[in-house]
Chains A and B, each alone.
Chain A
Amino acid sequence: MSGALSRGTLVIDVERCKGCELCIPACKPRVLTMTTDKRNEMGYFYPELEPGCTACHACALICPDFVFQVWRYDEAVAVEEEGSER
């Protein structure tokens, strides 16, 4: 992952998600993964974000439940440094 940049990030409203997984292949940088152990209030698995989002908003366009809010950073940040200071 060295040298890769995070150009944006998401806010994920996990309680809206119905676990359809359409966002997983839609994500070109492959930074969305479904939970395998955590479920939301409705009982569905939901997507989680790893560093490396490009803010392309493909996930938001295909999501049937409007789960994603997409933000584009003013300045891109190295994925190693994004971390908790998101």
Chain B
Amino acid sequence: MSEILETATPPKRKAKLVDDFEPSLILEGKHQLCAGCGEPAALRSTVEIIDELGLADRAIGVFGIGCYTSFSPVLDLEVLQALHGRAPSLATGLKRVQPDSIVFTIQGDGDMVNEGLQEVIHTAARGEPVTCVMLNNGVFGETGGHMTSTTVLGQRTKNTLEGRDPKQHGFPIRMAEMLAPLDGVAYVARGATNNAGNIFQLRKMLQSAFEVQRDGLGFSFVEILTMCPTGWFIQTGEAPDYLADKMASYHQPGIIKDAREGA
């Protein structure tokens, strides 16, 4: 076995800081979310891309209700809190009164698909130039871990203990595929946070989505599959494979629509 390095202090060797504890635009990284949660990585990627594109001064986030909402007070960005499911409508109003701003929503699957499905569909259909980000973990994490409309077939949740059964609970909704055919929609993609490779892909998707908004091309949507080991009743170390096997086989990651020229 190799020796263990002392990692309590920065190195004495000449070195460059690549990545600090607190990501850019997140003021306080310590949070109360469960171990193994995928949402901090998704949020981190979103705000870091905003910073990399130089849009931080113009960016306004609109947060839905979910575990991720605990990040709204610690972001170094303007943030508005929406009612449950109403973030896309609030974002529409913001963008219309401040057309130069970069408006994005952060919602979970419960918030967007269960509580406020019509809000996002109308916002997308009208082609509002905002970016909606949906963190999809297939459960209402914050309120106890019950089933949402994106819970995949066979998935165990608090109220589908034997697994989601289409005869009793119906079929899940594929949100990205549902929004993509609408004429006002310019960019739709689905990423995942279950491994570093997927996070690199996700960051490219987020970059494209914000570029679409910056260039005024229409509505952009990025769905992010995130781990919720607590809600899935599994060990944290098993969550990335569970996401890949169960969720990603139904909600398949990839770029679903890119209406930009040359794309």
Contact = CB atoms under 8 A, between A and B. Distances in A.
A48 B15 contact: no
Interface in A1-28: 1, 8-13, 16, 18-22, 24-26, 28
Contacts of B37: 64
A78 interface: no
Contact of B237 (A8, A22, A63, A84): A22
A64 B42 CA distance: 9
B5 A51 contact: yes
B36 A22 contact: yes
Contacts of A10: 7
B7 A48 contact: yes
Contacts of B195: 25-26, 62
Nearest to A58: B196
A7 to B, nearest CB: 10
Contacts of B240: 22, 25
Contacts, number: 146
Nearest to A17: B35
A86 B8 CA distance: 11
A20 B36 contact: yes
B29 interface: yes
B52 interface: no
Nearest to A77: B13
Nearest to B13: A73
B84 to A, nearest CB: 24
B22 interface: yes
Given A9-B7, A69-B10, A60 B237 contact: no
Given A21-B237, A61-B199, A64-B40, A72 B15 contact: yes
B10 A64 contact: no
28 contacts: A18-B35, A18-B36, A20-B36, A20-B237, A21-B36, A21-B237, A22-B227, A24-B237, A31-B2, A49-B4, A49-B7, A50-B2, A50-B4, A51-B2, A57-B18, A61-B45, A62-B196, A62-B199, A66-B22, A66-B44, A71-B15, A71-B17, A72-B16, A72-B18, A73-B15, A74-B16, A75-B14, A83-B5
4 smallest CB-CB distances across A and B, nearest first, come from: A58-B196, A66-B29, A18-B35, A20-B36
Interface of B: 2-23, 26, 29-31, 33-41, 44-45, 193, 195-196, 199-200, 227, 229, 236-237, 239-240
